[in-house]
Amino acid sequence: MKKTIFFAAALLSLVAFRAVETTTWTVDKMHSRFGFVVNHMGVNDIEGDFKNYECTINTTKADFSDATFDVSAEIASINTESDKRDEHLKGADFFDATQFPTLTFKSKSVKMDGKKLKISGDLTLHGVTKPVELEATFHTAINPMSKKDVAGFKITGTIKRSEFGIGTKFPAPMLSEEVQLNANGEFAKK
């Protein structure tokens, strides 16, 4: 009798135990943009983006509440639609792409806040790593052409450039201290 109860309990625990499967989502660069906005002299917002970047999301939940975000971008791929400005931004006055060629973000936690995600993680930029918090809204769908699961994310946040040692020669009246991060990404389930 004890053997039967033990066997039944062992069988139930095996049936009840299900391995948690991680889903990986990869960025569709044709339908995505990883950018920023900075204000010039209190007069005009200058937008830019990074042309060469990678982003992967791993999650076990459909609502992405346990997701991890892993982002990297090549600083030399910065684009503000002005070659002269882009070269200046890549130089030692700003990003110093030769010495610090890559920007990275690695999430540490994700929390649901209503229908939004609060993503906390470490941003490494210009050789400095700082914690940042980003906010994301997302939608999921089935791509009608490929019939694959897709997810779209709009991610925003703000950093202070001085905390990363970027553009320290340029005071806030000339170039805003705060830099808005804006990413719009479409991801496909791998």
Q: What does each of the 190 residues of the chain score in pLDDT, given as a tens digit? A: 566 555 555 545 554 555 679 999 999 999 999 999 999 999 999 999 999 999 999 999 999 999 999 999 999 999 999 999 999 999 999 999 999 999 999 999 999 988 899 999 999 999 999 999 999 999 999 989 989 999 999 999 999 999 999 999 999 999 999 999 999 999 999 8
Q: Which CATH superfamily is domain 21-189 in?
A: Lipid/polyisoprenoid-binding, YceI-like (2.40.128.110)
57 vs 74: CA distance, rounded Å? 19
> What's the chain's Rg over C-alpha atoms?
21
Q: How far apart are the first and last CA of the chain?
A: 48
Q: Give the single-character DSSP code of 132.
A: E
Q: Residue 120's Cα: distance from chain center in Å?
A: 10
Please tell me the pTM assigned to this model: 0.87
Determine which helix (DSSP H) or strand (DSSP E) holds 125, and give its type and residue range.
Answer: strand 116-125
